[in-house]
Structure 1
């Protein structure tokens, strides 16, 4: 039975070109820290430490802790100097990246169709950003007023996609069995990995990502518009199927 729907953010609820978004994000962040750090060194180390964070499977540390444990010793700038600049970037300059994204009314329709059924709604983005940056992108997607059951972020999560522990942690946080969840996303590798722990999957094809050219084995797939039109029916069908087998 589907009791919770997990929505990926970038490329799913918030259509964007990932490469363009990343380029603009790094350019603006590099410019913002230029007064306290060499921008090239900063960006290079940020990417390297992000990779360390993504690969980590240390359940004792949040993603934020893993990132800064690797980043700060290698960047050569005192935390009390660097951290206020980074925090201020997200408060004031992160919005400069917004033009690389676009809102789609079908994203809101899909989310509201789930909420109206009384089903939990979760934002299951890869938790490599602080919550402030994620909340802004949720606003850009046109669903900032939605009361989500949980929003993944690097301050609270201990794993990243596509590790199965990422999905298990979400299920535990929201009090659901994996088989009671539907993961909706646009990345064949990262989002369809939810199936490995028993979650149902829906592949959104508008901004499809498939870095390894893997076979897309999803329970459902379609455009964001098709998702908005059918997700309530999918949930009813799945839940009806369970009841029929009881």
Structure 2
């Protein structure tokens, strides 16, 4: 059985200002709740969970990082972020991504040949990823596995991220093909024995 992995940003979806608007909307949403948060704090914690895996999930490490840098508990941070991802304000970000039609067509073709994995860097929770998929005309049902913060313990470009995918679906790296636009983050799959195909 062949397994085909697809990255999201830059592969399935074209960034039309998502990052900038994401931080703007997030800080605005938190400010209304009298919570101050900066893009630098968010990026620092993303970097920490990328470089310092410790056996806990990315979500757990991310919230613990925020707790360590602020006076707010990890569970409080988690609730705040989940409220944001459930909000109408987050939904307005749908205008900041566009589907890459040719890659979506490729994904559709590969469904006939094997299992499909959304191999997006797991720095978002499932609810946010599901919405981002919907924005480009896809859904959870299009994938055998989705890599999210709640269930993954590594981030790109750590090769163990790709090995964790293989472990979860019960295949060898040699049975997998990774489609992505980033030679560093996506191309790291080759260190495990996977094949990497650059789409841009």
TM-score of the superposition, structure 2-length normalised?
Answer: 0.92
Number of aligned pairs?
Answer: 198
Q: 1:196 aligns with which of 181, 187, 191?
A: 191
Per the alignment, residue 7 of structure 2 pairs with: 8
Query: Which residue of the partner structure matches residue 115 of structure 1?
Result: 111
Partner of 1:33: 30
Q: Distance in 1 between matches of 2:178 and 2:193?
A: 10
| CA RMSD between the two structures | 1.7
| Contiguous gaps of at least 5 residues in structure 2 | none
Indicate which of 43, 66, 82 corresponds to 1:47: 43
Q: Secondary structure at the match of 2:13?
A: coil
Give the corresponding residue for 1:74.
69
1:24 deviates by 0.7
RCO higher in 1 or 2 (8 Å CA, sep ≥ 6)? 2
Query: Aligned residue for 2:128?
Result: 133
| TM-score normalised per structure 1 | 0.75
Cα separation, 2, equivalents of 1:183 and 1:159: 17
Check 1:129–1:102 CA distance in 2 against 1; reply closer, same or farther (3 A cut). Answer: same
Normalized per residue, which structure has more strand? 2
Partner of 2:169: 174
Paired residues for 1:207-226 under 5 Å:
none
| 2:122 is aligned with 1:124 | no
SS of structure 2 residue aligned to 1:112 = helix
Contact kept? 2:66, 2:74, Cα under 8 Å: no
Partners in 1 of 2:51 and 2:85 — Cα distance? 24
Q: Which has the larger radius of gyration?
A: 1
> Which contiguous aligned blocks of 4+ residues in structure 1 show a shift greater than 4 angstroms?
78-82
